[in-house]
Chain A
Amino acid sequence: MAGVEERPILFSSIKKLAQWAQSGSLWPAQFGLACCAIEMMATAASRFDLSRFGAEVMRASPRQADVMIVAGRVCQKMAPVVRELYDQMPEPKWVIAMGACASVGGVFNNYAVVQGVDRVVPVDIYVPGCPPTPEGLLEAVMELQKKIRMGGRAMAPAMPSPEEVAHP
């Protein structure tokens, strides 16, 4: 079976077909942590209509989800739960860190809040804002689709050191 995914069918290959299908049916885990979840709901509702990108089916079970939208601050007690939910999601899986809190901790620079969910799970897209607008989340979904179509897999949890961040 080696190399079967590269073998052309008609004019393409199974791999490209799978990438196209995966990018068009990103089912998010129904998992809102804080106020960003309100904007996530607004994005899924009729005005912005996440279903135009095939990402409206919020799954209550991680077993059926493809993308985890971490919407809100992750406190220290929630971090192992987030990791467990991520581990329960089937491959391939992606993570969007929505908002300042999920991305880097935001205003909550204290002992209770994880300073960025990328300390727990690998993050593909970071959305700035507090909370981000529905357009911001739509942009993130589109960016993720682009990444999947280009063959990008879930990111390794490579968090740069503070020195690297300051002087890249």
Chain B
Amino acid sequence: MFDAIGNILKGLGITLKIFTTMPNQTVGYPEKKRELPARYRGVHKLRRYSDGLERCVGCELCAAACPAYAITVVAAENDPEHRVSPGERYAERYEIDYLRCIFCGECERACPVDAIVLTPQPLPPFISRRQVIMTKDDLLEPYPGGDPPAFHLHPWEDHPDRIDRWPVPQEHLPSPR
């Protein structure tokens, strides 16, 4: 009997010790945010070349690679006088359904020109299904010299080991606008 009470007190003593000595593990979320992993995959971004041309050439490989069929690309032919992208075609419409998207990064892997990348920016919840499709206006990187990007680059994007798999000859590019 007294043994049992002693054991209970011993156990409660351990509880009290942990309770008083262990640091608080809770992340006070809205005020304090935990550090996300460096390669956390969040909302997408459509990149541009440094002269302002869009990287996306409208090949639709991202849409083909997407396991959730979340990406819609409608390509259009480039006008040689007023190029949108350096390739033959460009993405006239580029839409991502962010409820379908599972943020796997297969689109990033499939892209031959590194046009679509995932940024470490998490996505807030939606209150209606009408908000969930993001169009090119939301996804496209701002024009260089214009507004600064709203979110910082994907860490892998500027890695020194990374090479552009499809370098564009300078003479094919128009003078910067």
Taking Cβ atoms with an 8 Å cutoff, the residues of A that contact B are 46-49, 52, 100, 103-107, 109, 116, 118, 124-130, 133-136, 138-140, 142-143, 147, 159-160, 164-166, 168
Contact = CB atoms under 8 A, between A and B. Distances in A.
B130 A168 contact: yes
B30 A48 contact: no
Contacts, number: 92
Chain A, interface SS category:
mixed
B127 A125 contact: yes
Contacts of A116: 129
B2 to A, nearest CB: 34
A167 B71 CA distance: 15
In the complex, the 8 A-B pairs of residues with the closest C-beta atoms, listed nearest first? A130-B102, A140-B125, A103-B99, A126-B126, A104-B99, A107-B68, A49-B26, A127-B125
Q: Is the interface of B mostly helix, strand, loop or mixed?
A: loop
A165 B97 CA distance: 10
Contacts of A106: 68, 100, 102
Contacts of A159: 129
Given A128-B99, A143-B125, A47 B30 contact: no
Nearest to A101: B102
A47 B127 contact: no
A129 B42 CA distance: 9
A133 B121 CA distance: 12
Nearest to B36: A133
B16 to A, nearest CB: 17
